[in-house]
């Protein structure tokens, strides 16, 4: 079974075409018009072993918010679709990843009950709108559309770039674990029989 999905989404603010293969090799082709975001999505692909293509054109002259959030919506749809009925997946994933001064832990439950916890290092809540808050919108959109219970705990860090990089790497490794197939699981991993 090839766990693959491709989606196109067009609004007045963004045009996005994207595809994912959950059982890939970390191959990527990513262009969003936002170099830092391209870098983070590349890290997600490489460290999660997901083959990912994203082509996004958005109103980045206004700001990056619409493009980042809408790519999150599309990626949530991709992940949810590629998992299919979720039979056989491990369902849970956890990874803790350092990046120089930063350390982030990401915990996932692919429960089909979306929820986001996004905890910033001390002092980051007082900063003006920046990358850490912008990417909260990405992860909220992704969690909601994929039915993911997602806990992102940025334990500490001083440099915004390093903090967000540790988030994307930990998210990738945690999602790879959670979407992985476990041969012992012949059904949906839930006492209810459905996710």
Q: What is the pTM of this model?
A: 0.94
In CATH terms, the fold of domain 4-179 is Ribosomal Protein S5; domain 2 (3.30.230)
* pLDDT tens track for 114-162: 999 999 888 776 555 567 788 999 999 999 999 999 999 999 999 889 9
What is the model's pLDDT at position 165? Answer: 96
pLDDT of residue 35: 96
pLDDT at residue 121 in the model: 85
- The pLDDT assigned to 190 comes to 73
In our burial notation (b when 16+ CB lie closer than 10 A, e otherwise), range 153-183 reads: bbeebeebebbbbbbbbbbbbbbbbbbeeee
Is the predicted pLDDT of residue 2 greater than 90, yes or no?
Answer: no
The pLDDT value given to residue 59: 96
pLDDT tens readout for residues 45-60? 999 999 999 999 999 9
Q: How far is CA 155 from CA 13, 169, 178, in A?
A: 34, 14, 21
Q: Whole-angstrom Cα distance, residue 179 to residue 161?
A: 27
Residue boundaries of the structural domains of the chain: 4-179
Question: What mean pLDDT, rounded, does the chain reach?
Answer: 93
Which residue's structure tokens are 């997946």? Answer: 89
Is the pLDDT at 105 greater than 60? The verdict is yes
Cα distance between residue 55 and residue 49, in whole Å: 19
Q: Are β-strands 4-10 and 14-21 bridged in parallel, bridged antiparallel, or unpaired?
A: antiparallel
């Amino acid at each position: 079974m090839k766990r693959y999905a491709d989606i196109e989404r067009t609004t007045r603010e963004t045009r996005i075409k994207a595809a994912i293969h959950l059982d890939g090799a970390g191959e990527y082709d990513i262009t969003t018009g936002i170099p830092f975001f391209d870098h983070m999505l590349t890290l997600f692909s490489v460290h999660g072993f997901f083959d990912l293509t994203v082509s996004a054109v958005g109103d980045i002259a206004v700001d990056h918010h619409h493009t980042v959030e809408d790519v999150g919506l599309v990626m949530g749809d991709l992940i949810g679709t590629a998992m299919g009925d979720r039979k056989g997946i491990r369902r849970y994933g956890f990874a803790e990843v350092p990046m120089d001064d930063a350390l982030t832990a990401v915990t996932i439950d692919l429960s089909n009950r979306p929820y986001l916890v996004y905890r910033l290092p001390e002092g980051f809540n007082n900063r003006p709108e920046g990358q850490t808050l912008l990417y909260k919108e990405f992860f909220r959109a992704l969690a909601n559309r994929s039915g993911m219970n997602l806990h992102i705990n940025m334990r500490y860090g001083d440099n915004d770039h390093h903090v967000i990089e540790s988030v994307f790497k930990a998210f990738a490794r945690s999602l790879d674990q959670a979407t992985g197939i476990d041969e012992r699981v012949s059904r949906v991993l839930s006492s209810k029989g459905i996710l």
